[in-house]
Amino acid sequence: MPSNYPGFRYGADRETFSAAKVKALESLLIEKGVITGDTVDTVLGYFETEMGPFNGARLVARAWVDPAFKELLVTDCNAACEAMDFPEGMSGAEGEHMRIAENTPEVHNVIVCTLCSCYPWPTLGLPPYWFKDPTFRARVVREPRVVLSEFGVELDESVTIKVWDSSAQIRWWVLPMRPPGTEGMSETELAALLTPEAMMGVATVSV
């Protein structure tokens, strides 16, 4: 039975207060020369255009069509990023040391950061709320199969689930399996099939 845990949607008063407080903080920091009037928008714009799951999707799509590239991606994720025509910055903040875990018919991978929310910013952008939720972080390390089934991923009993937690400085993500029925698709079409959840191991890819 679910408890009265509020999930992520709280009452209007609580949100109005936080909105007022963060605006008070930001305006004071601008006035005092800590940041500029454009700093926060500059950061947010960077995540819309430069660092985001669109990069991870292109890497996975390339790996699906090019076995040599897949080998590079799974052995040295940062080198694989270098080999793409990405703009500078794929080994930037929170992506200095990245690793990807490859799903196969025998092995399914899922990522977690039990202690907080470590995440590979250059390839996946910023983490969705479920990933930051203490419920997911607490449960997936012990009962990954049950948690995955709550996300709609039902795995055969023979499949080994590998849970990759990040308590040090390596940032993890997942290389999903290419779905059937995608033969002949271009890399761009394949990349469009990918979601952040698939590249975190809580969804599979389908056409």
Partner 1 sequence: MKLQHNLGGLEGLDPITPEIEVFVEPWEKRIFGIHTAMMALSNHLDESIPDYDIEGVPTTFKSFWTWGHLRMGAEGMHPFEYFRLRYYEKWLGGISGFFVSEGYITQEELDARTAEFLEDSEKAEAPLPSGGEKAIDDQVVKYLREGDSPMRPLPAPPKFSLGERVRIKNVFPAAHSRLPGNLKGCVAEVVKVYEGAFTYFFPTADGIGVPMPVYSLAFKPEDLWDESLIEPQSIYYNDIFEVYIEAV
Contacts (CB under 8 A) with partner 1, residues 160-179: 160-170
* Total residues interacting with partner 1, rule: CB under 8 A: 93
Q: Is 21 in the site for partner 1 (CB under 8 A)?
A: yes
**Binding segment toward partner 1, per CB under 8 A, in 40-48, 65-73, 174-182, 183-191:** 40-48
Q: Is 116 a catalytic residue?
A: yes
Q: Is 72 in the site for partner 1 (CB under 8 A)?
A: no
Closer Cβ to partner 1, 64 or 119, answer by number: 119
Which of 79, 146, 192, 207: binder of partner 1 (CB under 8 A)?
146
**C-beta of residue 162 within 8 angstroms of C-beta of residue 109:** yes
Amino acid at the residue 108: H
The answer for residues whose C-beta is within 8 angstroms of residue 113's C-beta and 6 or more apart is 119, 131, 137, 165, 166, 167
Q: Which of 116, 149, 167, 186 is catalytic?
A: 116
Q: What is the dihedral of CA 188, 194, 195, 200, to 10 degrees?
A: -130
**Binding segment toward partner 1, per CB under 8 A, in 67-75, 146-154, 174-182, 184-192:** 146-154
Q: How much of the chain is helix, strand and coil, in % rounded to 5?
A: 40, 10, 45
Going from the C-alpha of 126 to that of each of 34, 53, 74, 164, 183, the distances in angstroms are: 24, 8, 21, 18, 31
Which of 65, 69, 83, 89: binder of partner 1 (CB under 8 A)?
89
**C-beta of residue 129 within 8 angstroms of C-beta of residue 118:** no
* Residue count (the chain): 207
92-131 residues near partner 1, rule: CB under 8 A: 92-97, 114-117, 125-130
Q: Which of 77, 81, 113, 166 is catalytic?
A: 113
- The catalytic residues are 113, 116-118
